[in-house]
Amino acid sequence: MLSDVALDISADQIDDTADSPLYQQIYALLREQIISGAVPTNARLPAEQELTERLGVSRITVKRAMNELATSGLVRRHRGRGTVVVFDAAAPTVKGSFSTLIDGLTRMGLDTEVNLLDCATITPDPETAEALELKGKAKVQRIVRLRKLEGEPFSYLITCIPADVAKGYSDDELATESLIALLEKAGHAPKEAEQTITAIAAEAAVASVLGVTPGSPLLRIHRVMRDAEGRPVQDITAHYRADRFQYHMRLTRDADEDWTETN
């Protein structure tokens, strides 16, 4: 059920002499109230005209700020119903780290719900074949999954595993077991991982599955895992909702030495 909300926002919070555009200032003020939980999920924000009069800015400025909120996945705009908050500040945020990569992924598999969206044996694209060091006409099992925490989607994962490794477990187990556990069962427990983290804008298909607006910021992690023999056994590209997943690192540094990560 929708409920209107009284925003704690006024014209004296807007500075038309600042370097940042007015719409960005308004966006930042509204975003802070939504992220903090001061404006709850399913609350309906005031109409553009009301904010225009309250803040003393143009309607175009307010409209652009609202559109930025929608692009960030914090609100949805409905013709006839107004702008509705969809971000849930009470939903949990998953935290990962580099130092506890494998243990963290294993716990994530136990603590979250996974929906298997697709599974097929295919010929890999050249990039995947290279990452997995495959030769000739070797195929991969391509697995597409959606991971949820307390019913809220937070990651969309595309995983490729060499077809001969995938023979060590059944397709049915993909819907109930973590891939880390299945690789262990297949005799190829991951012992080493290399990953790259980037920030991207959500494509329409991924945004639809994750429940965000196309163009919303996502954390993209590409990871290649190797077993004890050094063989690549998993190539995974994971898209995480930026509002639901964080990477945390603690660094230390002794005199005249480089920074190092600590647990």
Instruction: Based on the fold, state whether residues 99 and 185 are members of the same structural domain.
Output: yes
pLDDT given at position 153: 85
| 257 occurs within a structural domain | no
At 263 the pLDDT is 53
Residues 164 and 233 in one domain: yes
Query: pLDDT tens track of the chain, all 263 residues?
Result: 556 777 888 899 988 888 888 998 998 899 888 888 888 888 899 999 999 999 999 999 999 999 888 877 788 888 877 888 887 776 655 555 544 444 444 445 545 678 899 999 999 999 999 999 999 899 999 999 998 877 778 889 999 999 999 999 988 888 878 888 899 999 999 999 888 889 998 888 898 898 887 888 898 989 999 999 999 999 999 898 887 776 666 677 777 777 665 55
Instruction: Tell me the residue range of the domain where 77 lies.
Output: 3-85
Tell whether 183 and 228 lie within a shared domain: yes
Say if residue 228 is in the same domain as residue 144.
yes
Residue 21: which CATH number?
A: 1.10.10.10
Residue at which a domain ends, from 31, 59, 85: 85
Q: Quick check: is 255 in a domain?
A: no
- What are the structure tokens assigned to 204, written together? 């329409």
Domains held by the chain: number: 2
Does residue 224 share a domain with residue 199? yes
Tell me, yes or no, whether 30 and 157 share the same domain: no
Of 209, 193, 99, the C-alpha closest to 148 is: 209
Residues 131 and 240 reside in one and the same domain: yes
What's the pLDDT at 101? 44
59-71 helix and 22-36 helix, angle to the nearest 10 degrees: 50
Domain termination residue (choose one: 60, 85, 110): 85
- Residue owning tokens 């989607």: 153
Whether residue 154 is found in the same domain as residue 230: yes
What's the pLDDT at 70? 85
pLDDT at 72: 75
Check whether residue 13 and residue 116 sit in a common domain.
no
Domain boundary among 64, 85, 106: 85
Both 139 and 108 in one domain: the answer is: yes
Residues 22 and 98 in one domain: no
Query: Are residues 218 and 102 both part of a single domain?
Result: yes
261 located within any domain:
no
Q: Are strands 43-44 and 192-201 parallel, antiparallel or unpaired?
A: unpaired
pLDDT value of position 112:
67
Q: What are phi and psi of 233, to 5 degrees?
A: -120, -5
